[in-house]
Amino acid sequence: MDETRSRHKRRRDSSSPPLDVASFDRNVFPLLLAAASSRTSPNQHSRSVLRRFLRSRLALISTRPSSCTTPKSLLPDGLIALLPLLLTSRWPSVVRLSADVVRSAALYSIEMNEVLALNGEIAKGLILALGNGRRQVAKTVCNAILDLSISQAGREQLCKALSVERLLSLFYQEVQVNRVLAVHQGMRKEAVECSKGRPMNESFVALILAAAVTLINSSTEDFLDRIPSELVKRCLPLLQEIWKKSRCPLLHGNGQRCWHIMKNGLPTTIFKLSMNQNLATWNYDKIRVTMFGDAGSEFVTFVSKYWEKSPVLLSEAIKNLEKENGVFRCLINSFNHQSTNDILDSVLMKLVSCQPLASDELDINCFLNENSSLGSPLIYGLDIRVVKAQQVSSESFKKKEVHFFDSSSGTLFSEGDYATKCKKAFQDGFTIALRGMEFRFAEIASITRGLADLFGQPSVGANLYITPPGSQGLTFHYDDHCVFVWQLFGQKYWFVSSSPTSILPRLYEPISSLPSIENEKEGGLQMFLNEGDILYIPRGCPHEAHTKNDAYKPQQELCSGLSLHLTLSMEVEPPFAWEGFAHVALHCWHEMQKEASDCIPSMEARRRKVFSVFLLHVAIKLIADDVSIFRKACLIAAKFVEHHADTLRLNQKANFLKIINIIDFSSNFMETFEKTVVQEANDNFLEWMRWLRHLPQRGDEDVKIDFDDPSRMRSELIELSIKGNEEMKDEFFQTKSRFCRSLVYEEACRMFQVMLEKYRRTRNQYMNGMLALHT
């Protein structure tokens, strides 16, 4: 009977006709304000008034009245002003109904959602209501936060109200480390219920986490940086554990909103909370001693004699191994090396895909926005290859690479499945090659950071190769980057050709075909790498390696057993080669000339000056296509030992002066103009310039080069040259002459360092985020 009366009462409450705005402001608002302000003593009548009104307003919004009903008539300004007070009421039922009104209004339309968001006090009221102490109230409020956050304005106001901190604190209180397993079991139970078609309620933890994930994933770095670091450190392990457990198959296809948000958005949340964390890094000096020996002169000798010139075995690593060197021990302890299966398990299990970061990407948020598959399983060909070199025929020494998996399919490897198949492939003689180990193992990451610092580069890559006995993985090939091959377990036979490519290959340039290995054997470097050995191979230097018997070595030296080695890849990105430094120097010089250009009254003359600089950039690129020194790594930011630093800095400056002389002597206007305008009108020849957009430019648009859209620059150049090509030619030679006789080396060094820090920051953020997904 009581339930019947209650239902009738709710029906009467919900059937109240809508009030126009003027009537609400005149009659209802004072009554609601008086009821909401009644805090001094219990007042059942005030509570009843508020509840009846909120229910009727909730019913009105939920029924979605006719199109002639305006958002303001559904949600008058007076009610919006009262909502923060109602959300902090001492009556839980009023708080829940108020949060439900916010939910319904936020979902009614984007316009109404933004109206709510404009009142920042509503977001603050929701956050305060989370601390109400009642579980059902908090669940309703979490749902309201989720619904308000569907608009950009709503997310911004919630972030300003410190909602992320409050949600993470509440999450930490609900899920302590010893309760993560229980949470996961609850998730599995609810997933089973859902799979059987039974209704299920969102758990409180799921609601909190879904709201936190939504807000964190839409937050800027400024907002994320305001979250207390101690709170992040406490919550991250819990988030990582829940995410890894949530990857179970039972949750796939679960349609519940909160579980969907959590499962798909949690990897991005973990990434974003981790990307600015300070992780341990081996000091560059420790890396130098480990790889090149105690004396600073040995690193100097390596740079002057071998770097980007010829291969060399760094035997000092063996001595360091005997001394129980910390870097090497730290590295090999990353792997469980009790047995072959242990090694394979330690490097194959719990891995996720590491989508590549674009070479000119300096905004980590752009990467995150474009990669919705963060946290997905490994992708064949991108993250892992399982390959074996086989002879084409018994009459030929030529070999081909055979893949265990379909090399063109981009197969996704499910957890556990690919590890079993890889073990089978390993038993059949296939090498397992894993890319991006610096994103998967913290110990490897700390070494690559130190090595990048030592050579003054933004980052260093790391690939791992596990080769079974009597086998070869990759065929005879060369790389577009220098590598340090570090033998971790077992031993491997290497052959490195003494005939490198005629010019240093750039990153991502097409690899040319190579002659048969047998034609290269004479004079090449042949050696066994034992545990702890490091072999340096310059880019463009052909090589191969295997663990099988070889006719060129006596029987007692033949390799036996599994081989595991790490390659540390020094990838010289465009800004950090000498060609890039020349572009930076020209840019610095152009910026210094802008003040003088401001005095030129003719717009056409000013544009000719800009395009002469643009053409000189193109000329530098054309020269670098044929002259190796432009492709060499610029080591201006390298960390040389102090008493050798001055000499090496002078050497770097001498390289720059040599490059300037080549530019002065070899730049040709007609060749550059034709290459830019005539011959390459329909291809992406000028796309290499896009990284220059990261260099700061000042002044009006008419004195700026649009590096982001070089094709537009080409079109304008054509228009300008039609009016007077001879004037353009004269301006080009004057620009070249003035630039080549200017003293911009110090300014270019400073700009180079700024660019280096920008690149390094983005790559470190990416590394930190990926490591957090593998911890």
**Neighbour order of strands in the sheet with 543-546:** 525-529, 492-496, 543-546
Are both 333 and 210 inside the same structural domain?
Answer: no
The answer to whether 383 and 351 have CB atoms below 8 angstroms apart is yes
Between 90 and 683, the more confident residue is: 90
Mapped onto helix, strand or coil, the DSSP state of residue 109 is coil
Whose CA is closest to 64, among 97, 96, 105? 105
Looking at residue 658, its pLDDT comes to 95
Write down the mean pLDDT value for the chain: 81
Residues in the chain: 775
The answer to whether residues 243 and 292 belong to one domain is no
Q: Which tops the pLDDT comparison, 535 or 17?
A: 535
Same domain? For 349 and 464 the reply is yes
651/665 same-domain check: yes
pLDDT band at residue 118, thresholds of 50, 70 and 90?
confident
Q: 686 and 725: one domain?
A: yes
| CA proximity to 224, closest of 143, 144, 148, 162 | 162
Q: Which helix (H) or strand (E) holds 287?
A: helix 284-292
Domain termination site, one of 242, 274, 306: 274
Compute the average pLDDT of residues 202-227: 86
* Residue written as token pair 């991108």: 382
User: What mean pLDDT do residues 341-367 have?
Assistant: 86
User: Considering the domain boundaries, does residue 718 fall inside one?
Assistant: yes
**558 pLDDT more than 50:** no
- Residue 96's Cα: distance from chain center in Å? 40
Predicted confidence band of residue 449 (pLDDT cuts 50, 70, 90): very high
Contacts of 460 (CB under 8 A, 6+ apart): 438, 448, 449, 451, 452, 568, 569, 570, 571
Q: Taking residues 531-551, report their average pLDDT.
A: 85
Q: Average pLDDT for residues 284-307, to the nearest whole number?
A: 87
Residue pair 465/564 in contact (Cβ under 8 Å)? The answer is: yes
pLDDT category of residue 195 using cuts at 50, 70 and 90: very low
| Number of structural domains the chain divides into | 4
Bridging pattern class, strands 384-391 and 399-403: antiparallel
Give me the pLDDT at residue 761, please: 95
- Give domain status of residue 181, yes or no: yes
Confidence (pLDDT) at 538: 94
Strands (E) in 286-414, as ranges, are 312-314, 384-391, 399-403
pLDDT above 50 (res 224): yes
Q: How confident is the model at residue 429 (pLDDT cuts 50, 70, 90)?
A: very high
Q: What is the pTM of this model?
A: 0.88
Residue 228 lies in a domain: yes
Report the pLDDT value the prediction gives residue 26, as an integer from 0 to 100.
54
Higher pLDDT: 773 or 678? It is: 773
Per-residue confidence (pLDDT) for residue 250, from 0 to 100: 40
Give mean pLDDT, residues 223-236: 91
Claim to verify: residue 442 and residue 461 sit in the same structural domain:
yes
Question: Which amino acid type is present at position 584?
Answer: V
Domain extent, residue 506, equals 287-353+375-572
- Please indicate, yes or no, whether residues 705 and 641 belong to a single structural domain of this protein: yes
Q: Are residues 393 and 535 in the same domain?
A: yes
Residue 5: predicted pLDDT:
46
Residue 14 belongs to some domain of the structure: yes
pLDDT the model gives residue 199: 39
Is pLDDT of 411 > 70? no
319 versus 715: the higher-pLDDT residue is 715
Query: For residue 370, is it within any domain?
Result: no
3-state secondary structure of 459: coil
Pick from 326-330, 477-481, 630-634: least confident = 326-330
pLDDT at 760: 95
Residues 487 and 563 in one domain: yes
Give residue 32's pLDDT.
67
Residue 5 lies in a domain: yes
Q: Where does the pLDDT of residue 498 fall: very low under 50, low under 70, confident under 90, or very high at 90 and above?
A: confident
- Whether residues 238 and 130 fall in one domain: no
| Cα–Cα distances in angstroms (integers) from residue 273 to residues 168, 230, 648, in the given order | 11, 12, 40
* pLDDT classification of 664: cutoffs 50, 70, 90: very high
Task: Give residue-wise pLDDT tens across range 126-145.
Answer: 988 887 778 888 888 889 99
Q: Is residue 212 situated within a structural domain?
A: yes
Residue 7 has pLDDT above 60, yes or no: no
Please say which residue of 572, 602, 634 terminates a domain. Answer: 572
Residue 769, in any domain of the structure: no
Count of CB atoms situated within 10 Å of the CB of 182: 12
pLDDT band at 293 (very low <50, low <70, confident <90, very high): confident
Distance CA 205, CA 262 (A): 10
Burial of 110 from C-beta contacts in 10 A (0-12 / 13-18 / 19+): middle
Highest mean pLDDT among 74-88, 394-408, 409-423, 568-582: 568-582
Between 270 and 603, where is the model more confident?
A: 270
Residue 746, CA atoms < 13 Å, CB-side half-sphere: 1
What is the amino acid identity at position 717? L
627 pLDDT more than 70: yes
Confidence label for 744 from pLDDT (cuts 50, 70 and 90): very high
pLDDT value at 108 more than 60? yes
CATH code at position 5: 1.25.10.10
User: Do 462 and 331 lie in a common domain?
Assistant: yes
User: Crossing angle for the helix pair 257-274 and 204-217, nearest 10 degrees?
Assistant: 50
pLDDT reading at 553 higher than 90? no
Q: What percent of the chain has pLDDT over 90?
A: 30
Average pLDDT, integer, range 683-692: 76
Distance CA 697, CA 716 (A): 19
Confidence class of residue 654 from pLDDT cuts 50, 70 and 90?
Answer: very high
Q: Say whether pLDDT at 344 is over 90.
A: no
Q: Domain ends where: 514, 549, 572? A: 572
**CA-CA-CA-CA torsion for 270, 276, 281, 283, nearest 10 degrees?**
170
CATH number at residue 439: 2.60.120.650
Q: How confident is the model at residue 624 (pLDDT cuts 50, 70, 90)?
A: very high
Q: Are residues 137 and 216 in the same domain?
A: no
